[in-house]
Amino acid sequence: MPGVCVIGLQWGDEAKGKIVDLLTQQSDFVVRYQGGANAGHTVVVGDQTYKLSLLPSGVLTPGVTCVIAGGVVINPAKAIEELEELEGRGMTHLDNLKISDRAHVIMPWHFAEDRVLDKSTGGEDIGTTQRGIGPCYRDKVGRSFAIRMGDLYRDSFPDRVRHIVAAKNEMLTAPDHLDADAVIEQYTVFAEKLRSHVCDTTDMLLTAAEEGKQLLFEGAQGSLLDVDHGTYPYVTSSNSSGVGVSNGSGVPAKHITHTLGIVKAYSTRVGGGPFPTEQDNEYGQHLREQGNEYGTVTKRPRRCGWLDAVALRYTARLSGVDGISVMLMDVLSGLKEIKICTAYELDGRTTDTYPSHVDDLRRVTAVYETLPGWDEDITGCTEMDQLPAAALGYLKRVSELVGAPVEYVSVGPGREQTIQAAAAAVGA
């Protein structure tokens, strides 16, 4: 399959990085195509844990070309920080990282604007990580104040920064005013450190696809955070569902032949916005503590709740998934019963359609189906038939409700704690 895409089907934090790392072993290119340094991907290799927020998870594997495509917004300081950390841990193959010259650059004024614009109407926290990502995407669309990676190497860069800083300082309050010369000096240093990595990745990926190379597309955040199709305005600033792959990477859909949806075995959310299956009780606390549900990037505690199959059906259809990978199954161990939301009650009627407006989603009541839990420790299971009958029953029901077969099951953080499932055993 020349193009495989890994997409989170919830509100992010589904453990996509682990599956990307696993599938990287079969790939020639790993492509990060949207978002910025707000995507915390944790990968465990042996006794080593790697936390990445900007670099593709595939960067850990020698012999694979890792691409940050044009749809990503780049914080150069963060890219350098992550590269230097990996170099310090003995990695010598990091020339395999390629950064699109079309990718937009997060500049100091974006951080300043993010601090001001963090609150939504009514004062509820939208959930931004305040890393300048939203303002950078806004300038990208607005065009007048945008800077791309390729611009850093042009003679016109200093004059462009001075023009933008002058305009931005008129909009910012005095404490946030910027020094154009200091910005030019700082970003010129960044540019030189990244020079060997910056190139035309669009042409590179199109050529690779046409030559039949194995491409793995790594989504960031989750489908319910998609700026057009998620729980707006409590979303990210890019198309984080499967619909964003082609516009972010520049690779046409005809080259994407398999889409794998990543599903946490329960639900989590960070920041504000409606969450129909949230459990602010002992069940939610069990999920948070057993799953270590604290943000990789922000360290914020995540809101936790039961699996929402109404939302999953919607995002699986939206992203066109061919199969799903169920992650963190081990977190459910020890629960006597486990619930799945199979429908909503809204205005006196039952529906399995996901509301398009956030106000309607606030008003729904989750309709649950209760399944038996299990007490067994499943972290050592390596085959599907080693899982408890109740765990297999849960996976089968999730597959039926989502409408896609289970392809992988994760029972722990390590690479080796991933079971490749036989679709016939747990498929829809």
| Residues contributing to the annotated binding site | 12-18, 38-42, 129, 143, 221, 236, 296-302, 328-330, 410-412
Sign (positive or negative) of CA dihedral 321, 327, 329, 335: negative
The C-alpha angle 233, 237, 241, rounded to 5 degrees, equals 90
Q: By CB neighbour count within 10 A (0-12 exposed, 13-18 middle, 19+ buried), where does 127 fall?
A: buried
Binding site for substrate, by residue number, is 296-302
Binding site for Mg(2+), by residue number, is 13, 40
- Residue that is written with structure tokens 């949207």 in the block: 34
Compute the distance between CA of residue 67 and CA of residue 209 in angstroms, rounded to an integer: 14
Compute the distance between CA of residue 297 and CA of residue 48 in angstroms, rounded to an integer: 18
Compute the distance between CA of residue 420 and CA of residue 398 in angstroms, rounded to an integer: 16
Has 13 been annotated as catalytic? yes
Question: 297: which residues sit within 8 A by CB, 6+ positions away?
Answer: 37, 38, 39, 40, 53, 129, 131
Please answer whether residues 49 and 67 qualify as being in contact, where contact means their C-beta atoms are separated by less than 8 angstroms: no
Task: Write phi, then psi, for 15 (nearest 5 degrees).
Answer: 75, 40
Active-site pick, 98, 110, 140, 264: 140
Compute the distance between CA of residue 149 and CA of residue 312 in angstroms, rounded to an integer: 36
Compute the distance between CA of residue 117 and CA of residue 112 in angstroms, rounded to an integer: 9
Please answer whether residues 94 and 83 qualify as being in contact, where contact means their C-beta atoms are separated by less than 8 angstroms: yes
Q: In terms of Cα–Cα distance, which of 331, 418, 415, 416 is closest to 50?
A: 415
Active-site pick, 21, 41, 139, 197: 41
Compute the distance between CA of residue 277 and CA of residue 241 in angstroms, rounded to an integer: 21
Compute the distance between CA of residue 83 and CA of residue 408 in angstroms, rounded to an integer: 30
Please answer whether residues 67 and 31 qualify as being in contact, where contact means their C-beta atoms are separated by less than 8 angstroms: yes
Go through 371-400 and write b for each residue having 16 or more CB atoms within 10 A of its CB, e for each that does not. Answer: bebbeeebeebeebeebbebbbbbbbbbbe
As given in the structure block, the two tokens for residue 300 are 């914020």
Q: In terms of Cα–Cα distance, which of 64, 6, 63, 62 is closest to 39?
A: 6
* Residues designated as active site: 13, 41, 140
